[in-house]
Amino acid sequence: MMPFAEKLSFLMHITKTRNKELAEELSVDPSMISLMRTGKRKPSKNPVQIQRMAFFFAKRCPAAFQRQALSEMLDQAAISPNMPVEALAANLEKWLHGEENIAETLLSGIQSPPVKMAQPMAAPFPAPEDTVSGQTLFFYGEEGRREVMTLVMQEILAMETPTSVLTVVDDNLEWLLSDYLLSKRIQSQMLDAIERGFTFYQIMPPMNFINRYTESLQFWLPIYAAGKAKVYYYPRLRGNLYRHSIIVVPKRCVQYASSVGLGSTSDITMFSTDPRLIDAFEQQFQEHIALCRPALNVHRDAQEVISSFLEFFTRQGDTIQAVNFLSTNSIPRALLAQFAQESSNPSWQQVFQKYLNEQPCFENRLRHEPYIDMCRLATAEEVRSGKVPVGAPIQWENGQPCYTPETYCLHLKNILRLMNTYPNYTFLPLHEKEPGYELFVNESGMALLVRASAPLFVLEMRRPHMVLALQEHLMRKADAIGYEGASRERIRMELRALIQKLGG
């Protein structure tokens, strides 16, 4: 990973910025900039400083050669001459904070709801003449790929009856992302199609080139979050020599592109409205997807969410989670039974009863498997307000019960019991809310990423590389807090102190 000092020096070099100029922008002494450039001083932990620095450099990089240099240094195809300054500043800010990885892409992407363009942009290619049924056209290079993508979206948007769009993405979208305005327009049109009832089936690209895969993931995340995407991956290794992508709109059109390696000017792209070709590629897609496995699902319905969580908590293997509430698994049995009995909402009764039934299995797991439970502790004042919910990621249903000081104390005491009884159970108190999400990861190959603000949804992931990246993210977080040796007793003392504050 490139040190911050080298990143700063690079940006100052391509923008011809002097220490004094940047110091005036940040309201610091020029000597501070000099120390940061030599690595003797780290940037302030105040995120505003990095934000202002990123925007300052973004404004100073309007030229094509500067954007090209940034694209190569950050390894991001989307940094192009037509990328707005605000978007470039956001990319520079992430880069200055640290390298973007799969976990950070997912966690930052889920916090932003799907957004369509307020006004559709004019197409960069002329509208084709009326499509002749049965015609097949060929295009070349990256420009050809972009032109065919425009034709496909025009066909989709012209359809009166929604259908399923079948996609195989075997490359990493550099041909699309390198044109920032076009990529945003295509993304917006896909979201518009989803609103009209279309569903996108996608076979994800291989993870052979992580940076390119991560950038492609950023493009697709809003589509996933819209809840009308079925996503799969091929579990076996694939070579890097030949690549292809397919888009099939059944009974309407097909796009097929092939290239050597990552592709560029060698791309050959076919666009056809020939019914025989469309049917043949649709059949190929069905044969391909039969060899694949589910990569992720999006859940918005309360019953789907409940089922997904119950499956997660009954899986074998090491588990780690970071949430903004005390976990439902650690609620004492008597309290679960009380909540199930007192709740006026049948859905909540079902939730608490199912957790009550599964609790013996959960405690049996703790005899053999590590479980790291990172939870935000509510303050005594928050608990006394009566607004701290029980079982909180499932907020789709009304009538969610809230803690009283007495019931919160009972829950904390049960956490202490679990810590004392099972060395495999680790409770880690968090004191700040997770920024817009909650995350659950099981090493057996399942992760749940919850968007904790409207619009609410759960991203259920099963692709091993994605699950592993999220697990590593949480393990680093746990290591930074500390949970072994003396830290375990420190945590017990903190729980006892909160119990005492609540009068327990």
504: pLDDT strictly greater than 90: no
| Both tokens assigned to 12 | 């100052």
Last residue of a domain, one of 294, 317, 347: 294
Q: Are residues 230 and 325 in the same domain?
A: no
Q: Are residues 324 and 286 in the same domain?
A: no
Last residue of a domain, one of 294, 317, 351: 294
Q: Are residues 477 and 357 in the same domain?
A: yes
Q: Give the residue numbers spanning the domain of 184.
A: 136-294
- Work out the pLDDT band at 100, boundaries 50, 70, 90: low
Q: Are residues 251 and 314 in the same domain?
A: no
Q: What pLDDT sits at residue 398?
A: 64
Q: Is 121 within a domain? A: no
Report the range of poorest mean pLDDT among 303-307, 430-434, 488-492: 430-434
> What is the CATH classification number for the domain harbouring 88?
1.10.260
- Work out the pLDDT band at 20, boundaries 50, 70, 90: very high
pLDDT digit string, tens, across residues 262-302? 656 678 999 999 999 999 999 999 999 999 999 999 988 87
Q: Are residues 241 and 305 in the same domain?
A: no
Q: What pLDDT sits at residue 479?
A: 94
Q: Are residues 310 and 437 in the same domain?
A: yes
Phi, psi of 257 (to 5 degrees): -130, 140
Q: What pLDDT sits at residue 125?
A: 47
455: pLDDT strictly greater than 90: no
- Domain count along the chain: 3
pLDDT digit string, tens, across residues 107-137? 877 776 656 655 544 444 444 555 556 899 9
DSSP at 389: B
Average pLDDT over residues 138-153: 93
Report the range of poorest mean pLDDT among 1-10, 46-55, 257-266: 257-266
CB half-sphere exposure, 394, CA atoms < 13 A: 25
3-class SS letters over 133-187: CCCEEEEEHHHHHHHHHHHHHHHHHHCCCCCEEEEEECCCCHHHHCCHHHHHHHH
Q: Are residues 254 and 238 in the same domain?
A: yes
Q: Are residues 266 and 362 in the same domain?
A: no
Omega before residue 455 within 30° of 0, cis: yes
How far apart, in whole angstroms, are the C-alpha atoms of residue 415 and residue 480? 21
Q: Is 123 within a domain? A: no
What is the overall mean pLDDT for the chain? 88
Q: Are residues 452 and 309 in the same domain?
A: yes
pTM of the model: 0.84
Q: Is 260 within a domain? A: yes
Report the range of poorest mean pLDDT among 35-44, 111-120, 148-157, 232-241: 111-120
Q: Which of 297, 275, 300 is nearest to 132 (CA)?
A: 275
List C-alpha distances in Å: 462 to 17, 139, 209, 226, 466.
Answer: 46, 36, 20, 18, 7
- Work out the pLDDT band at 1, boundaries 50, 70, 90: low
pLDDT digit string, tens, across residues 374-411? 999 999 999 999 989 887 655 555 667 889 999 999 99
Q: Which of 156, 147, 246 is nearest to 196 (CA)?
A: 156
Q: Are residues 220 and 285 in the same domain?
A: yes
How far apart, in whole angstroms, are the C-alpha atoms of residue 97 and residue 356? 43
> What is the CATH classification number for the domain harbouring 436?
3.30.870
Q: For residue 112, is it left (φ>0), alpha (ψ between -120 and 50) or beta?
A: beta
